[in-house]
Structure 1
Amino acid sequence: MRLLLTGGSGMVGRNFLEHPDSSSFDVLSPASSELNLFDYHAVENYLLQNKPDIIIHAAGRVGGIQANIRQPVRFLLENLDMGRNIVWAARKAGIKQFINLGSSCMYPRDTLNPLKEELVLKGELEPTNEGYALAKITTARLCQYITSEDSTYQYKTLIPCNLYGRWDKFAPVYAHLIPAVIRKIHEAKVQGKNTVTIWGEGTARREFMLASDFASCLIRAVNHFETLPAMMNVGIGRDYTIDEYYKAIAEIVGYKGSFVHDHSKPAGMKQKIVDISKQIAWEWQAKTSLCEGITATYKFFIENYVAQIVC
């Protein structure tokens, strides 16, 4: 099977390519210099020339709460352009199978958790990442519309919970919660700081999955595409408070200081955990515990990023 993976240099893409079972596919993972997702005609020509059997769209402009607040235009336009171009070019090129990656940011901010797939577009979005969410919703809807017009085109969307792991971004201006906290607490330990600041009250709840586990889900999605639901959450089935993530990371890093809360900073949605009923029925579950995942991610951070940090 010839498989086109967009975003092969990102966290999801690299974890997919590192998965031992990915070698069973003929994987195309072009760099942006080879496939410019912002150029529709270039995307369509690439698909016509290479004729993949299935596409996994993992490319995207991603970042944590700081990056989304600072650059909403960029997060909206870039993700919208990439999503629209690859999905519509795939349809025009006659590619029948497509796996689009959404985000739990697509769900309304004030709704009951766990978040069911049917809740998309059922309420107001979280303002801190609204642009990114709108782009992801539009791309998912385009996939649904294409399938509804012609059922021979099966364009499906997976909605993962928050991800972390190898190849994550650890720079504060771009990082999501876990990599940002790993770096913050590591630096506090090295610099001998007595306290570390947590944004908000620390009571907001989040669900995180190790990216290598999600890569395993993607492998299964390709191999069992026919049984894959049209839209499906992918999660671990439990969440933790922000305070609990800080404490877990501090224990693994070996930081002995204390935490203070900055109530003036935004914390985002009060809770965000996805409903995994469809995933369980599809017979897949993540295997890595939070402690194992953070330990592996901290090891990757030490081996690949610490030398670049000026403390």
Structure 2
Amino acid sequence: MTGGAGMLGSSIAEQWQGIRPNDKLIVATRRDADLRDREQTHRFLERSRPDAIIHAAAKVGGIQAKLSEPTPYLLDNLLLDSSVLSAAIELRVPELLYVSSAAIYPASARQPIGEDQVLDGQLESANEGYALAKIAAGKVCEYASEQFGFSYKVVAPSNLYGPNDDYSIGRGHLIAAAIAKIHAAHVSGALTVPIWGDGTARREFTYVMDLAQWVVSQIGTLDSWPAVLNLGCGQDHTVAEYYETAKSVIGYTGEFTFDPTKPSGVPQRLLDSTRARGLGWNPETPLASGIATSYEAFLASQQTERR
């Protein structure tokens, strides 16, 4: 598995032993290979000789980071995806799960978004570079499966949240950023927390441990999957509602200020995960309890940093 230090990768690693104790999981780190380097990546996979690959490594970030520094979200993802996928094909690894993103769908996609809408319209501008790289890698998986008979499949999760998220303000995704900002205001006694946009944009967030558990259970059965599979919890909320839930969990008593001059992305992004539910996908973690667990993990990480 690549991307073991990321939120989803680390969650998969945590779940692996309990679900598949007889299968060895090799978690690639930067000490093993710089995945942007094709030769290093090929040598690492040649030594590992995997039966399957979970490719979860990616250059990721929130909307603010993608707008201010767009180049690496296209270039770095193209490089590391090309290295991993080409090595997998050359070494004839029979199964590969590529972790993509809901950003691959058009900004004007019909809601809820079905898997057939890839390349069906213009991408959201803030996510364009990242999405282009994800679409390209997804097509490589599709071509490799058709040309060589491999089971290289693409999973397009909704936005994720949970333990091991990136809580750095300015780089974290919506829920992680909300937790970090509200906590800072709660501790400092600040009366308001600023939020980009008017708070009405709707997003779907799935608890990462639900996704990790299911992915671990599916390795070895990807030949039964379609080329692309959406994985979302099936319910979206407004940005303001996510902030209100985090506010309640943290116990903050201040107010929110919205800045409609700042970009907030597409009005709605909700995935149609019907195909996945037909394969047994059934996430059950309620939003409030998921955010509460995430906040506990955030507090623990803050204590570790202070030591």
TM-score by length of 2: 0.96
CA distance in structure 2 between the partners assigned to 1:285 and 1:199 by the alignment: 32
Match of 1:195 in 2: 192
Q: 2:247 aligns with which of 233, 246, 250?
A: 250
Residue identity in the other structure for 1:94: R
CA distance in structure 2 between the partners assigned to 1:115 and 1:306 by the alignment: 40
- Number of residue pairs aligned between Structure 1 and Structure 2: 304
**Residues 16 and 22, structure 1, Cα contact 8 Å, conserved in 2:** no
TM-fit CA distance, 1:76: 0.5
**Residues 36 and 43, structure 1, Cα contact 8 Å, conserved in 2:** yes
CA distance in structure 2 between the partners assigned to 1:217 and 1:231 by the alignment: 16
Match of 1:163 in 2: 160
> 1:235/1:90 Cα in 2 relative to 1: closer, same or farther (>3 Å)?
same
1:206 aligns with 2:210: no
> 1:262/1:8 Cα in 2 relative to 1: closer, same or farther (>3 Å)?
same
Match of 1:229 in 2: 226
Q: 2:117 aligns with which of 111, 119, 125?
A: 119
Residue identity in the other structure for 1:98: L
**Residues 53 and 96, structure 2, Cα contact 8 Å, conserved in 1:** yes
CA distance in structure 1 between the partners assigned to 2:127 and 2:41 by the alignment: 27
Match of 1:104 in 2: 102
1:7 aligns with 2:3: yes
> What secondary structure is seen at the aligned counterpart in 2 of 1:240?
strand
TM-fit CA distance, 1:49: 2.3
**Residues 112 and 272, structure 2, Cα contact 8 Å, conserved in 1:** yes
1:150-182 alpha-carbon deviations (Å, 9 max, x no partner)? 2x2111000000011111101112100001000
1:246-298 alpha-carbon deviations (Å, 9 max, x no partner)? 11000000011111211111001110111111011112111211011000000
Structure 2 unaligned runs (5+)?
none
Residue identity in the other structure for 1:181: A
Structure 1 unaligned runs (5+)?
none
CA distance in structure 2 between the partners assigned to 1:237 and 1:153 by the alignment: 30
TM-fit CA distance, 1:51: 1.0
**Residues 113 and 270, structure 2, Cα contact 8 Å, conserved in 1:** yes
Match of 1:296 in 2: 293
TM-fit CA distance, 1:308: 4.2
1:18 aligns with 2:14: yes
> 1:51/1:31 Cα in 2 relative to 1: closer, same or farther (>3 Å)?
same
**Residues 221 and 228, structure 1, Cα contact 8 Å, conserved in 2:** no
Farther off after superposition, 33-42 or 131-140? 33-42
**Residues 114 and 275, structure 1, Cα contact 8 Å, conserved in 2:** yes
> What secondary structure is seen at the aligned counterpart in 1 of 2:107?
coil
> 1:64/1:292 Cα in 2 relative to 1: closer, same or farther (>3 Å)?
same
**Residues 151 and 222, structure 2, Cα contact 8 Å, conserved in 1:** no
> What secondary structure is seen at the aligned counterpart in 2 of 1:128?
helix
TM-fit CA distance, 1:223: 4.3
TM-score by length of 1: 0.95
TM-fit CA distance, 1:307: 6.3
Residue identity in the other structure for 2:136: T
Q: 1:176 aligns with which of 173, 176, 179?
A: 173
1:131-156 alpha-carbon deviations (Å, 9 max, x no partner)? 11111110001111111212x21110
> 1:145/1:277 Cα in 2 relative to 1: closer, same or farther (>3 Å)?
same
Match of 1:238 in 2: 235
Q: 2:276 aligns with which of 259, 274, 279?
A: 279
CA distance in structure 1 between the partners assigned to 2:66 and 2:5 by the alignment: 21
> What secondary structure is seen at the aligned counterpart in 1 of 2:96?
strand
Residue identity in the other structure for 1:7: G
Identity %: 37
TM-fit CA distance, 1:206: 0.3
Q: Which runs of 4+ in 1 moved over 6 A?
A: none
Residue identity in the other structure for 2:96: F
Alignment of 1:42-191 (within 5 A): 42-150=40-148, 152-191=149-188
TM-fit CA distance, 1:22: 4.5
